[in-house]
Amino acid sequence: MIYKIANTQEEYNQIFKLNYATFVDEIPQHEENNDKILVDKFHSKNIYIVAKKEKEVIAMLALNAERPFSLDDKIGGIEKFYQGKFLRPIEIRLLSVKEEYRKTKVFFGLLKRAFNYIVQNSYDTIFISGTTRQEKLYNHIGFTRFHNNVGTEGAEYIPMFLNLSDNNEVIDKLSKSKQINYLPGPVDLSSEVLKKVSKKLYSHRSKEFVNLTKNTLYKLKNILGTKDVTILHGSGTLANESILAQLSQRNLGKGLILSNGEFGNRIINQAKRHNLIYDTYSVEFGESFDLVYLENLIKNNDYKYLYLVHHETSVGILNNLEKITEICKNNNMVVAVDAISAVGAVKYNYSNIDYVACSSGKAFCSVAGLAIVGHNCELYELKNATIYIDLYYANKNLSIPFTQPSLLIEALNTALDRFDGDYPYNFIKEKYDYMRNRLEELNFEIIKIKDTEKSPVILSVKIPDNISTINIGDSLAINNVFIHYNSEYLRKRNILQFSFINQNTNFEEIDYTIEILKEIIGGY
């Protein structure tokens, strides 16, 4: 049994037949026809959530968020009678379960997926035309009548609504359902970290906060292997901005920026705004840098600095930072690294790197919002750029140049305690290997990466062009399985990604995910 969002013609054909069986044969709402199919007049606007047993659609319902609703037509406009307020309403219709499955859990499974979709897409009010036969059930779920019955004899319906902002036991239960997270961020937080987030805020000028920050910086230096660390209040992108500002201030001359994915391209885009002089060495999505070519390029151009991404998550490639750094240092170059998705996921000593950008989110498994820069070189005061990205100024003030949120530092400090040993890194690698083996058993196409540069953090799976990754990702989401698929660079290549940095994901959940994935794709 699988629940998914319908998107194939075969599924639609079965929906039309089930629609006819329910709303013509069983409930005399529409006229009979020889084809015994009923195409809903809102079909082009509907999102259908279906339950399938093997290739058979055994239950369905339709969601529509585009006004006017069917209920608008029936009562002459919802606002004339509904007294509440809403910003993002949605209508549920065409609930239908084949007779032989009505005394099973199919109905509640279908409803659960529908509510997941509604909550995940931030709708605030649900409208239905509830059959009078199930009024008690709808009331139990939380729906309330707001108009007299509509329809005809034998096909009477009750206009009803459910406000999702009100206290509701069903919604509360759904929100507490187990979620499986394969996203590269945001990450799951441990109970210890969550406790820190719920603490009362206290002053960033207090001795308590100063001591907390010193301890956090100490832990970060040990993990990164750098001489010093500076924390800024912002995302990982701010960490890269502050490094680019340092490079610009130093006026080193021409540099080289490497790119083999989306985040290398982002650094190039950011560098333009800092008026840096640089060349780029870009290769195709997922390709490795030719290190012989790179070495000759550096020798022939007298570059003064190099910037690259350590772990390019858009592909799932772990660039050969050790060898690239060696080439650079042999040529007296400054090396800056975006390690946002590497730190905490891949054990690496950055003692030979001048600047390392990372963040409190991602594999540190803390709350996003702190930009972290490890550095092994002197920092320079910015003369012309904003003080907000001035690493020199922030470092001089013990990473407390302005108001820092105590709860974010508390959370990060606690999250860093996991990295006393190698367990976090090993667990990520074990989950990666397990998922990869399961996918290969099913002949899924995993993006080919050179063996020495395979990421133990991200699996990128190429889906055949005739299968929609959007539908797969959306269908997994209504089953509370969250993967990375909705970024433009993934959509245009029809790629799904699984990240293993979330500490709560386990092998049983990987098996569950594989079974759902197998059922969804097997239906095409």
Question: Residues 266-311: pLDDT tens digits?
Answer: 999 999 999 899 999 999 988 999 999 999 999 999 999 999 999 9
Q: Is the pLDDT of residue 185 over 90?
A: no
Q: Do 141 and 81 reside in the same domain of the chain?
A: yes
Question: Exposed, middle or buried: residue 89 (CB in 10 Å: 0-12, 13-18, 19+)?
Answer: buried
pLDDT of residue 476: 97
Residue 182 domain flag: no
Residue % of the chain over a pLDDT of 70: 98
Q: Do 365 and 396 reside in the same domain of the chain?
A: yes
Q: Do 138 and 250 reside in the same domain of the chain?
A: no
Q: Mean pLDDT, to the nearest integer, of 174-190?
A: 86
How would you classify the pairing of strands 458-462 and 445-446?
antiparallel
pLDDT of residue 30: 87
Q: What is the CATH number of the domain that holds 431?
A: 3.90.1150.10
Q: Do 391 and 492 reside in the same domain of the chain?
A: no
Instruction: Measure the CA–CA gap between 483 and 477, rounded to whole angstroms.
Output: 8
Q: What is the rounded (10 degree) CA torsion for 392, 398, 402, 403?
A: 150
Q: Do 244 and 365 reside in the same domain of the chain?
A: yes
Residue 107 domain flag: yes
Domain count, the chain: 3
CB 474 within 8 A of CB 486: no
Per the omega criterion (within 30 degrees of 0), is the bond before 68 cis?
yes
Residue 23 domain flag: yes
As beta bridge partners, residue 356 has: 337, 374
Q: Mean pLDDT, to the nearest integer, of 475-497?
A: 94
Q: Is the pLDDT of residue 225 over 70?
A: yes
Of the residues 392, 420, 448, which one is the last residue of a structural domain? 420
pLDDT in tens, 137-161: 899 888 999 999 998 887 889 999 9
Question: pTM for this one?
Answer: 0.91
CB proximity list for 480: less than 8 A, separation 6 or greater: 116, 177, 178, 179, 180
Q: Provide the sign of the torsion angle of the four alpha carbons 387, 392, 398, 404, taken in this order.
A: positive
Instruction: Measure the CA–CA gap between 100 and 114, rounded to whole angstroms.
Output: 21
Residue 440 domain flag: yes
Q: Mean pLDDT, to the nearest integer, of 420-440?
A: 95
Q: Do 464 and 509 reside in the same domain of the chain?
A: yes
Instruction: Measure the CA–CA gap between 241 and 252, rounded to whole angstroms.
Output: 17
Of the residues 420, 446, 466, which one is the last residue of a structural domain? 420
Name the least confident of 29-33, 242-246, 373-377, 496-500. 29-33
Q: How many CA atoms lie within 13 A of 107 on its CB side?
A: 15
pLDDT in tens, 338-372: 999 999 999 999 999 999 999 999 999 999 999 99
Q: Do 245 and 213 reside in the same domain of the chain?
A: yes
Residue 181 domain flag: no
Q: Mean pLDDT, to the nearest integer, of 426-451?
A: 94
Q: What is the rounded (10 degree) CA torsion for 67, 71, 77, 80?
A: -130
Q: Mean pLDDT, to the nearest integer, of 203-207?
A: 91
Residue 447 domain flag: yes
Q: What is the CATH number of the domain that holds 312?
A: 3.40.640.10
Mean pLDDT score of the chain? 93
Q: How many CA atoms lie within 13 A of 426 on its CB side?
A: 6
pLDDT of residue 253: 95
Instruction: Measure the CA–CA gap between 424 and 343, rounded to whole angstroms.
Output: 11
Q: Mean pLDDT, to the nearest integer, of 181-194?
A: 91
Q: What angle do CA 496, 499, 501 make, to 5 degrees?
A: 170
Q: Is the pLDDT of residue 524 over 70?
A: no
pLDDT of residue 521: 83
Residue 184 domain flag: no
CB 244 within 8 A of CB 276: yes
Domain range holding 333?
191-420
Q: Do 448 and 473 reside in the same domain of the chain?
A: yes
Please give the helix or strand (H or E) that residue 217 lies within, else none. helix 207-224
Other C-beta atoms closer than 10 Å to the C-beta of 459 total 24
Per the omega criterion (within 30 degrees of 0), is the bond before 456 cis?
no
Q: What is the CATH number of the domain that holds 119?
A: 3.40.630.30
Q: Do 162 and 228 reside in the same domain of the chain?
A: no
pLDDT in tens, 324-342: 999 999 999 999 999 999 9
C-alpha distances in angstroms, 512 versus 183, 236, 363, 479, 517?
A: 16, 32, 23, 10, 9
Q: Do 100 and 112 reside in the same domain of the chain?
A: yes
195: phi then psi, degrees, rounded to nearest 5: -60, -40
Pick 170 or 225 by higher pLDDT.
225
Per-residue confidence at 523, pLDDT binned at 50, 70, 90? low
Residue 490 domain flag: yes
As beta bridge partners, residue 402 has: none
Q: How many CA atoms lie within 13 A of 211 on its CB side?
A: 4
pLDDT of residue 237: 96
- Lookup: tokens for 520: 């969804």
In b/e form, how buried is each residue of 472-498, taking b as 16+ CB within 10 angstroms?
bbbbbbbbbbbbbbeeeebeebbbbbb
Other C-beta atoms closer than 10 Å to the C-beta of 437 total 10
Of the residues 420, 441, 469, which one is the last residue of a structural domain? 420
How would you classify the pairing of strands 47-53 and 2-5?
antiparallel
Name the least confident of 258-262, 285-289, 434-438. 285-289
pLDDT of residue 113: 94
- Lookup: tokens for 164: 């999702």
Q: Do 158 and 204 reside in the same domain of the chain?
A: no
CB proximity list for 310: less than 8 A, separation 6 or greater: 318, 319, 321, 337, 338, 339, 341, 342, 346, 348
Q: Is the pLDDT of residue 192 over 80?
A: yes
Pick 32 or 297 by higher pLDDT.
297
Per-residue confidence at 175, pLDDT binned at 50, 70, 90? low
**DSSP tag of 454:** B
Q: Mean pLDDT, to the nearest integer, of 99-125?
A: 92
Q: Do 209 and 147 reside in the same domain of the chain?
A: no
